[in-house]
Amino acid sequence: ETGVTQTPRHLVMGMTNKKSLKCEQHLGHNAMYWYKQSAKKPLELMFVYSLEERVENNSVPSRFSPECPNSSHLFLHLHTLQPEDSALYLCASSQVKGGGTEAFFGQGTRLTVV
């Protein structure tokens, strides 16, 4: 496998459920990201992990809990979500270096909260 892989591709969950989204990158990158894309809104950065440490948390509610066990894997644990959390969740990775960076995205998990 190459690139950034996200599982599952689609997820429907009730508001009382607990689920996890998984992301794996095979690019040797040292930074991983979670983004949220809601309808008619810009891509919103949720979390950034650089060298396995969380370096950014953009005021994301605590019902979203990220985990980065190593530089290749990233999880987003979900619990007691709300219907408005329904969105496309995208994982990305990049090689953090001086200057610019190009991020590679997974295909996303389409989450529906019922």
Partner 1 sequence: DQQVKQNSPSLSVQEGRISILNCDYTNSMFDYFLWYKKYPAEGPTFLISISSIKDKNEDGRFTVFLNKSAKHLSLHIVPSQPGDSAVYFCTTGTASKLTFGTGTRLQVTL
CB of 44 to partner 1, least distance (A): 8
| Calpha distance 108→106 (Å, rounded) | 5
Cβ nearer to partner 1, comparing 1 with 102 = 102
Residue 73 and residue 113: Cα distance in Å, rounded?
Answer: 24
18 token code pair: 């607990």
Contacts with partner 1, 5-24, as mask; x by CB under 8 A:
-x------------------
Residue from 1, 39, 41, 69 touching partner 1 (CB under 8 A): that is: 41
Stretch 50-89 residues interacting with partner 1 (CB under 8 A): 50, 55-56, 88
Residues in the chain: 114
Question: Judging by DSSP bridges, how do beta strands 104-105 and 109-113 pair with one another?
Answer: unpaired
CB of 80 to partner 1, least distance (A): 26
Q: Can you tell me the distance from the alpha carbon of 111 to that of 83, in angstroms, rounded to the nearest whole number?
A: 10
Burial of 83 (0-12, 13-18, 19+ CB in 10 A): exposed
Binding region for partner 1 (CB under 8 A) out of 12-20, 38-46, 60-68, 73-81: 38-46
Work out whether 38 is an interface residue with partner 1 (CB under 8 A). no
Closer residue to partner 1 in complex, CB, 18/112: 112
